[in-house]
Amino acid sequence: MHIWRKEIRIALIGFWVVAVVGLSTGYFWPFLLVFSWYLLLRQTLQINRFEKWLRDGAKGQHPKASGIWQEIYFHLYQQKKTDKRRKKKLRKLIEQFRLSTEALPDAAVVLNNSDEIEWANKAARQVLGLQQNDNGQRIPNLIRYPDFITYLKSGNYSQSVVIPSPLNHRVILEVRIIPYGGNLRLLLAQDVTQLKKMETMRKDFVANVSHELRTPLTVLKGYLETMQDLDDGNSPLLTTSFREMQSQTERMQHLVDDLLLLARLETQRKKPQCINVPSLLSQICKEGDVLESATRRIELTLESSAYIYGEEQDLRSAFSNLLSNALKYSPDDALVKVRWYQTSNELVLAVEDFGEGIAAVDIPRITERFYRVEHKRRKKVAGTGLGLAIVKHVLVRHDATLEVVSELGKGSCFRCHFPIRRLCTI
């Protein structure tokens, strides 16, 4: 404001001098014209210098100026100084970020929306075999595993994908993509070789132990049956002991069978076939009703005649487990409803009972291995705690999900949701 006042004052003084000299000599208008031209020329010159200085990148000392122009140069100089400081800070931050990502043990690669590499850290070169000059290359041309390419193309990055390292096939990598900042994606690859090794060891151990336990159990069971046949009933202690021993060996056999089934589900891949689900469900329900002998408790509703791609044996295990749970955890005379139906994008199997239900806190845990809900009121129901773990595994292998809706004291409904792409015809 102060500088503007000064400028106006100079102009007014100039005008006053022009007026005095002009009026005293009788050439007021020519003097005024010359004075106006002088002012205009002065400003044009300043603008010209200013534009030239800007065109040259506003580097170095600014041109000589006075009045308002000096003020303009001063403001620009201040602005430039702040920008310089901010740039320096940003450069330092970027350098720190670069150093920290270089030090990361996990491979990190930035991809653009054409799957081209924008940037990669040191670990990416060591683990994924990328070269410094690979920037700009498309990543599917460098990592050619079909699983990885499908994952990259899918656009659904909620899960990760496991692939061998392109440099060393014995190194297992877990690759995850994280979209960020509009069109960019960050690819992270972590060496999970040890973890996978341990997992395989655990699976092998469980499978081997379960397998080895089978024979001694069968022998034990056989001898027990013979001894029970020989029991003349004179000793009640002996009779109850035999009965208890038999029920415990049966329980152990179920455990071993379930563990073996789980081990198989985790390791083996069978060729899927087109399965007639309505017929499979009819068989399972008939078997369920036979077991329940006294009353017919199962109500099967086949609203769809759809077949699905899958593994029959595994689906049978999963559906049987759901049905036997519904029968086990509801009163002896309560109805169990089994429904097979189709929606616009899914095929659904619903098994509903009107039994004891499951508390909300237990629902997320019931598919864990060996998790059994302790129920104070009910008598002990036989089980291994592996049934729903098997169901979950089977469903995952069929790209399906399990939905559990339950209310304590009212009952439960277990729904298996199969994606419509599993639909097939023979």
Residues found near ligand ADP in the complex (CB under 6 A): 321, 325-326, 329, 353, 355-358, 366, 371-373, 383-389, 412
What minimum distance in Å lies between the beta carbon of 103 and ligand ADP?
A: 45
DSSP for 65-113 reads --HHHHHHHHHHHHHHHHHHHHHHHHHHHHHHHHHHHHH-SSEEEEE-T
Nearer to ligand ADP, 56 or 374 (CB): 374
Nearer to ligand ADP, 257 or 346 (CB): 257
Beta-bridge mates of residue 376: none
Beta strands in 303-381 (DSSP E): 307-310, 336-342, 346-353
What minimum distance in Å lies between the beta carbon of 387 and ligand ADP?
A: 3
- Helix ranges (H only) for 104-235 are 122-127, 139-142, 146-154, 193-230
What minimum distance in Å lies between the beta carbon of 322 and ligand ADP?
A: 8
Instruction: State both tokens at 399.
Output: 């790209």
Q: In what order do the strands lie in the sheet containing 161-164?
A: 117-120, 107-111, 184-191, 172-180, 161-164
Nearer to ligand ADP, 123 or 300 (CB): 300
Nearer to ligand ADP, 185 or 415 (CB): 415
Nearer to ligand ADP, 185 or 393 (CB): 393
Nearest to 311 by CA among 238, 398, 392, 253: 398
Instruction: State both tokens at 285.
Output: 């329900």
Single-letter amino acid code for the residue at 297: R
What minimum distance in Å lies between the beta carbon of 383 and ligand ADP?
A: 2
What minimum distance in Å lies between the beta carbon of 286 and ligand ADP?
A: 20
Residues whose CB falls within 8 Å of the CB of residue 16, separated by 6 or more in sequence, listed in order = none
What minimum distance in Å lies between the beta carbon of 374 and ligand ADP?
A: 8
Nearer to ligand ADP, 253 or 273 (CB): 253
